[in-house]
C-alpha cells in the first residue's frame, strides 16, 4: 500500500483530531469539584484506548515507523480510531517529550483489542521494530463512561 504525501497529511490531521478528542474525553471525566465542563460532552474516540510511546535507537527512523503503523496497523479489523506521530513541543516543561513516536489506537471491545494484538500485521510490525527501539512505554486507558 502506497501512501502519498497528501493522504499522509490527511491521515495526520484526522489522527490529531482523534487525539484531541481522546484528551477531551479523558479531561471531561474529571471528578474534581473545581472543573466545570458543563453541557454536552464531545464524542469519545473509543472505549478502549491503547497508547504507545517509542524511543528509537535512531530518531531519524521515526518517519519509517509512522509509515509502517499507518500502512499495517490502522487497517486491522476492530480498530475504531488511530493515530501515529511525533512529539509536539509547545514549550510546556511538564510535558514529557522524551520519545520519538507516539501511537494511539482505539477499540470498542476487549475482544477487538485482543484480536489486534494477535493479528499477523501487528506481530510483524512489532518484530520488525523491536530491535530498533531503545524502549517502549505502553498505556491502556478504559473509558468507563456509560
Nearest residue to 19 via CA among 89, 93, 113, 102: 102
CATH number of 7-28+43-89+96-142: 3.30.70.100
Mean pLDDT for the chain overall: 83
Q: What are the φ/ψ torsions at residue 145 (nearest 5 degrees)? A: -65, 130
Whether the model clears a pTM of 0.85, i.e. scores above it, the answer is: no
For 22-44, the pLDDT digits (tens) are 554 544 444 444 344 456 778 88
The label of the residue with cell 474529571 reads 30
Amino acid at each position: 500500500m502506497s501512501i502519498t504525501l497528501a493522504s499522509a497529511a490527511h491521515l495526520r490531521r484526522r489522527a490529531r483530531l482523534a487525539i484531541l478528542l481522546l484528551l477531551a474525553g479523558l479531561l471531561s471525566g474529571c471528578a474534581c469539584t473545581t472543573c466545570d465542563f458543563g453541557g454536552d460532552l464531545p464524542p469519545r474516540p473509543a472505549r478502549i484506548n491503547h497508547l504507545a510511546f517509542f524511543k528509537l535507537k535512531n530518531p531519524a527512523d521515526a518517519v519509517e515507523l509512522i509509515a509502517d503503523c499507518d500502512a499495517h496497523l490502522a487497517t486491522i479489523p476492530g480498530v475504531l480510531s488511530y493515530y501515529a506521530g511525533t512529539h509536539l513541543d509547545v514549550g510546556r516543561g511538564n510535558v514529557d517529550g522524551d520519545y520519538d513516536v507516539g501511537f494511539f489506537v482505539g477499540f470498542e471491545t476487549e475482544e477487538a483489542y485482543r484480536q489486534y494484538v494477535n493479528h499477523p500485521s501487528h506481530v510483524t510490525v512489532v518484530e520488525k521494530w523491536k530491535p530498533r527501539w531503545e524502549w517502549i512505554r505502553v498505556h491502556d486507558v478504559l473509558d468507563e463512561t456509560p
